[in-house]
Amino acid sequence: MFERISNSWQLVKASAAVLRADKELIIFPIVSLIGTIMVFAVFAVPMLLAGAVDHVTDNGLDIISLAVAFLFYLVMYFVVIFCNTALVGAALIRLEGGDPTLSDGLRIAMGHVDKIFGYALISATVGMILRILHERGGLLGDIVAWLGEIAWNLATFLVVPVLVVEGIGPVEAIKRSTSLLKRTWGEQVIGNFSIGLIFGLLTFAAILLVGGPLIALAVLADSVAMIILVVLVIVFMVVAISLIGSALNGIYVAALYRYATEGEVSTYFSPELVQGAFKPKRG
């Protein structure tokens, strides 16, 4: 466990070096966050006000509710994948020795908008199926949904850089992503370390060490205004940590793709970090 945390921290530092070189890369996760909030407001808020959620809960999914939910998933996935494509595209330029701009990332994403939509359509379908299994399949459904989510995340781990570089369709990109993982890291892919691990720990530490004492002080002061302020500070910290983690993860995915396709790593990443990304090395 401690070795995994150590490897994860090295990975975070390597990805952070790229982010320091191109600070504008953080803009893509920010745009993604704003976009998802807007999509949520457009779809979820009117549904809540209209009581559609209660209807779905009481009477099961009817065709209209199912269609609205699928459209919500589709638009949400499109926004996220579009921004990830822009981020990964710009990161690939940096890893190859270039100096990308914000417009470079957006240009790359716009150039693949049809493939992004196709991939969003597939992702929304899978997401809906897993959600229905989780909510209506009981314990067995939970297990199947959990395993399906892990399998899907692995299979699609390199889809975005494949779309950016190879220009193939979404179905072929998913097959290509799976093939690259198997060919480069073997059949038994295991998450040896991840950026998510470190940022999960950072989020927990921020809430516990910073948020906890601030909430205690606000409660002791018996001030509603202070409690609201503390909650806003905690939300800001969590969002900031999440945004940085998203940017670093996009950089990491770009680095893994370069290694899987070209056998090369940039000056930012050591070969050991990339080689051990999914499968522990056997000495």
Task: Please give the pLDDT value at position 47.
Answer: 61
Per residue in 48-84, pLDDT (tens digit) is 655 544 454 445 556 777 787 888 889 999 999 999 9
Distance from C-alpha of 53 to C-alpha of 66, rounded to nearest angstrom:
11
- Do the domain assignments include residue 282? no
- Phi then psi for residue 269, to 5 deg, are -115, 135
- Do the domain assignments include residue 17? yes
- Do the domain assignments include residue 188? yes
- Give the total number of structural domains in the chain: 1
- Do the domain assignments include residue 280? no
Give the rounded percent of residues in the chain with a pLDDT score beyond 90. Answer: 29
Helix (H) or strand (E) holding 174: helix 170-185
Mean pLDDT of the chain: 82
State which residues form the domain around 37: 2-275
- Do the domain assignments include residue 140? yes
Per residue in 263-273, pLDDT (tens digit) is 777 777 777 76
Model's pTM, two decimal places? Answer: 0.82
- Do the domain assignments include residue 283? no
- Do the domain assignments include residue 16? yes
Torsion sign across C-alpha atoms 193, 195, 196, 199: positive
Distance from C-alpha of 63 to C-alpha of 45, rounded to nearest angstrom:
20
